[in-house]
Structure 1
Amino acid sequence: MITGRPFRAKPEWYWQNIDGGLLTYSRPGLMEKPDGSTEPAVIIFRDKFVLSVLTIEDAIRLADQLIDSTESPATNG
């Protein structure tokens, strides 16, 4: 559930936000643990740069929040 006031992006960032969205994507990956083992992960990229490495649980949580945000009154008028 989304609560509180929505974040308002400044108009001077509009085109950078649009371009950035077009360059943002995810791919499956592996996260190395301190003991040398690995676990599945989701990697979030902007162009060729890594923005975040997420555990599967955090990727699912973020995906749910993205869906909730698209269904929010703030995004649907």
Structure 2
Amino acid sequence: MGRGRQKAKATKQARDIKYYSPSTDYAALERELSGSSGHSAHHDADLEPDYSDYEDKYADQFDDDEDSRRIG
């Protein structure tokens, strides 16, 4: 394919992309933005695991006393 044909194809593709306007489902967008689908914003916060068991398990290894941080 020559440079002229290649440039024309690229121009046509750029024009198609520039003026492309997909059909938008505004009802679905409204449902998603209003949150009426039953999902709450705090739903993701419930997915974080509970690390309280590990806090107690390793608490004795790390002392928060100033004396233990002092260099000799």
TM-score (norm 1): 0.24
The structure with the largest strand share of the pair is: 1
Structure number with greater Rg is 2
TM-score (norm 2): 0.25
